[in-house]
A and B are shown apart, each in its own frame.
Chain A
């Protein structure tokens, strides 16, 4: 869970991590909009392949990528199967399942593939963004986009203490398992609620300690967010270039092919 959720790979030094997070956020948003509004699967699929290729070049463990993509892949599988069997009129093949006869249709398959590739394309963009940008830099960029200071402050606290609480909850869960706390459904439920309750109690206690420690470091009710530096020439150029590439790709794949 720690490796699955945390941003440990974002601290590597590479071309993507060196880009200003504001540029990455804007480009990611533009790319997601392009993918979601695409009327053909080629653009979303291309984006998916490009993002996965970049992730591979960054040498992110394949198991981590597979785990993060497992849910979207299942979504795609369902979308394709269901759309294939319910939409359209041109029969492709017939399937008999539990006494029922289902007919796959060409139009449905196309629609399912479009929806599925949209999901994969959009998810891969977010995945790449999360792999190339540390959480605190994303929050910093959000502050730069004038997202509420209080929201960002709570987000920083939450992100930091998820791992602290995860560590503690992990210890408690291990102790419960050693004491056979999950051997029967009723006992498991009791153990689970005790674990959740203990986590909440610990969070309350930790909140007091955290506040004391923050005050000792100069906290007076608001976390200090200094001004962000202006985007450098290189980042500005990169932003313009990438947005142009996205617009050109969208124009080419959506309107360029077959008129």
Chain B
């Protein structure tokens, strides 16, 4: 049995001004599914039709970077689990190693994971769509705690979202971990580290990491969907169409995520710079 007493008791009240259910411009998942289907016919009107239906029919927050339960055939779901598991296992090994060095590292990862989860639920305005979407948060997580642990945190966040928000799913968990916790995290961390080594200022490095981690997440999601849904049609054509479908919101959202990533680091560096020096992060920050 889990001993709950060991965790600090804190009174929790409902968020008074938390995230509201914003009218999303277009569910990214829905749009993806639509375009995945369009790929078979390759027709522009259907893309337009899917946009219209999405804009009219979606009252929910767009957490839809996750592939929904029931979309992937079982064989693909198993394959993506197999791809994701080594990364999560590597992250857990990293967690054990760093916890031995720093006793409060596990609470830190849990808390930073909770913060990033919350940030990923915050609405962010997308000017091109005229409404709000949500950042993925993997770029900032990878900079703060490293890419290995971001895979662990992403796997937990995705499980919680699948179980308690009906976003993503259990069978699609592996695919969603690969796109968010592996591709997004490694690209974000890699870009930030490389940019810093090349002498770029930290703000520019964080900005680039935020943008590219977001785009990498969506590119991987597109790949996963195209691979599973192209049927008898061309994989390349399907992949291109899905990528194209992401452009209207993901291009500006990626840039906004870049600003978010850089802004968060700027805030921490200006208010509590000692945190980045003393906290055993992934080393990138």
Which residues of A pack against B, CB within 8 Å?
Answer: 1-7, 28-29, 32-33, 35-37, 44, 67-75, 77-79, 81-83, 85-87, 97-98, 100-102, 112, 115, 118-123, 126-127, 129-130, 135-136, 138-140, 143, 148, 150-167, 169-171, 173-174, 177, 185, 188-190, 192-204, 206-211, 213-214, 217-219, 221, 223-226, 228
Q: Which residues of A lie under 8 Å from residue B116 when comparing CB positions?
A: 200
Q: Are B153 and A154 in contact (CB under 8 A)?
A: yes
- Residue A36 contacts which of B48, B74, B111, B163 (CB distance < 8 angstroms)? B74
Supposing A68-B166, A71-B63 touch, asked if A224 and B6 sit within 8 A by C-beta, the answer is yes
- Residue B27 contacts which of A75, A167, A202 (CB distance < 8 angstroms)? A75
Question: In the complex, what distance in Å separates the CA atom of A247 from the CA atom of B275?
Answer: 54
- Residue B8 contacts which of A67, A166, A210 (CB distance < 8 angstroms)? A210
Q: Are A126 and B69 in contact (CB under 8 A)?
A: yes
Q: Are A71 and B119 in contact (CB under 8 A)?
A: no
Which residues of B pack against A, CB within 8 Å?
Answer: 1-8, 10, 12-21, 27, 29-31, 33-35, 37-38, 40-41, 43-46, 48-50, 52-54, 57-64, 68-74, 77, 88, 92, 95-96, 99-100, 103-104, 106-119, 121-122, 124-125, 127, 140, 144, 152-153, 155-157, 159-160, 162-167, 169-171, 256, 259-260, 262-268, 271-272, 275, 279
Q: Are B164 and A67 in contact (CB under 8 A)?
A: no
Q: Which residues of B lie under 8 Å from residue A119 when comparing CB positions?
A: 68-71
Please give me the residue from chain B that is nearest to A137 by CB atom.
B2
Q: Which residues of B lie under 8 Å from residue A197 when comparing CB positions?
A: 263-268, 271
Q: Are B13 and A167 in contact (CB under 8 A)?
A: yes
> Would you call the interface of chain A mostly helix, strand, loop, or mixed?
helix
Q: Which residues of A lie under 8 Å from residue B14 when comparing CB positions?
A: 2-3, 167
Q: Are A130 and B164 in contact (CB under 8 A)?
A: yes
Question: In the complex, what distance in Å separates the CA atom of A199 from the CA atom of B275?
Answer: 13
Q: Which residues of A lie under 8 Å from residue B165 when comparing CB positions?
A: 4-5, 68
Question: In the complex, what distance in Å separates the CA atom of A204 from the CA atom of B275?
Answer: 8
Supposing A97-B49, A158-B156 touch, asked if A204 and B112 sit within 8 A by C-beta, the answer is yes
Please give me the residue from chain A that is nearest to B164 by CB atom.
A130
Question: In the complex, what distance in Å separates the CA atom of A53 from the CA atom of B264?
Answer: 45
Question: In the complex, what distance in Å separates the CA atom of A240 from the CA atom of B239?
Answer: 43
Question: In the complex, what distance in Å separates the CA atom of A81 from the CA atom of B43?
Answer: 14
Q: Are A79 and B1 in contact (CB under 8 A)?
A: no
Supposing A77-B53, A203-B111 touch, asked if A151 and B171 sit within 8 A by C-beta, the answer is no
Question: In the complex, what distance in Å separates the CA atom of A36 from the CA atom of B175?
Answer: 15
Q: Which residues of B lie under 8 Å from residue A206 when comparing CB positions?
A: 111
Given contacts A36-B73, A70-B59, A151-B156, 17 further A-B contacts (CB under 8 A): A6-B164, A36-B69, A36-B72, A37-B74, A71-B27, A78-B30, A98-B48, A115-B33, A122-B70, A151-B88, A151-B92, A166-B18, A174-B17, A185-B125, A197-B263, A217-B7, A226-B1
